[in-house]
Amino acid sequence: MIHSKPTRNLALDLVRVTEAAALAAGRFMGRGDKNAADKASVDAMRLVLNEVEMDGIIVIGEGEKDEAPMLYNGEHLGTGEPPQVDIAVDPIDGTRPLAHGQYNSLSTVALSPRGTMFNPGPFVYMNKIAVGPEARDVIDIDASVEDNLKAVARAKGMDVNDVTVVILDRPRHEKLISEVRRLGARIRLIPDGDVAGALMTSMPETGIDILMGIGGTPEGVLAACALRCLGGNMQGKIYPRNDVERQKGIELGYDLDKVLKLEDLVSSEDTFFAATGITGGELLHGVSYTGAGATTDSIVMRGLTGTVRRIMAQHRFAKLSRISAINY
């Protein structure tokens, strides 16, 4: 048996990034100002990412589809020292739930070796299907909803009417929702935050079996990084919003009919993922403030080892305020 020297687990650096973003954004819960929350989380995330010992380039950035403050695609972050990595960020996955004081908003970030993350170019939406380890080999995004639900049910040893599907609550999913209901499966509609939805398919305690529907490409790549760590699976297809976007993609050489498998979305197993809850939900507790500071709940993962950690952290603002530029 060949043993190799343990390498640095960058996920343990990334959790400081998502904690900072969550603490900065959490102050805006229920205030109805999505852009102010986004700006606070972006500023905090950028500051701490630049402290991580890495030569990083953002491949999956934030803000383009909703004109919010951004971490730009192509932006260089980190100290500039090796390793060279691709970065995917979503400082707030679920800005609307955060703004309205609802559940399941997270701060997320993922890394993988340089050149291994899918670059969606002009496309900000993709059709997705995601499952946990038990059903990882049975999904097919080109198959019917019925075939996929039956396949997942068989793989998990349950009936279709016991399967729970998580779907973004959008008008574009009206037909999908009707079909799932016709087949007798249960549905968990979520207002935003399909990174959390995808992760929950790989965590039995959440009761979610499959994610289906059209969501953001940044969220798709982030979820793919996490699912590589968790042993789950995802497939996607680019979803042009209009003819202009479709034509631009064709001119850039994108195959709009191609099924993007997990290995296409992130081609390396050496992935790192971190998420911190901002508002509470099935996946993570939200930021809890006290007079002296706050408590955060995070999950960190490493694809190479499959290690998943839950980290509960207590933050003391009196000390942080003396050394940090972030306004907690």
Residue 194 labeled ligand binder? yes
Percent of the chain with pLDDT over 70: 95
Residue 114 labeled ligand binder? no
Residue 51 labeled ligand binder? no
pTM for this model (two decimals): 0.92
Q: What rounded mean pLDDT belongs to the chain?
A: 92
Residue 172 labeled ligand binder? yes
Residue 134 labeled ligand binder? no
Q: Which of 24, 13, 8, 88 is nearest to 296 (CA)?
A: 24
Q: Confidence band (pLDDT; 50, 70, 90) for 69?
A: low
Residue 95 labeled ligand binder? yes
Sign of CA dihedral 265, 268, 274, 280: positive
Question: pLDDT by residue (tens digit) across 6-63?
Answer: 578 899 999 999 999 999 999 999 999 999 999 999 999 999 999 999 999 999 986 4
Residue 193 labeled ligand binder? yes
Residue 205 labeled ligand binder? no
Residue 6 labeled ligand binder? no
In whole angstroms, give the CA distance from residue 299 to residue 311. 6
Residue 171 labeled ligand binder? yes
Q: Read off the pLDDT of each residue in 150-164 and give the average, rounded to a whole number.
A: 98
Q: Which domains does the chain have, with CATH numbers?
A: 10-115+271-321 (3.30.540.10), 125-265 (3.40.190.90)
Examine residue 83 and say whether the peptide bond preceding it is cis (omega within 30 degrees of 0).
yes
Residue 62 labeled ligand binder? yes
pLDDT of 322 > 90? The answer is no
In whole angstroms, give the CA distance from residue 41 to residue 34. 11
Question: pLDDT by residue (tens digit) across 194-230?
Answer: 899 999 999 999 999 999 999 999 899 999 999 999 9
Residue 184 labeled ligand binder? no
DSSP 8-state symbol, 161: G
pLDDT of 1 > 50? The answer is no
Residue 113 labeled ligand binder? no
* Residue 197: per-residue pLDDT: 93
**Distance of CA 180 to CAs 159, 167, 176, 183, 215, Å?**
13, 10, 6, 5, 18
* Residue 3: per-residue pLDDT: 46
| Residue 219, number of CB atoms within 10 A of its CB | 26
Q: Read off the pLDDT of each residue in 292-305 and give the average, rounded to a whole number.
A: 96
Q: Which of 90, 184, 197 is nearest to 146 (CA)?
A: 184
Which of the two residues, 314 and 193, has the higher pLDDT score?
314
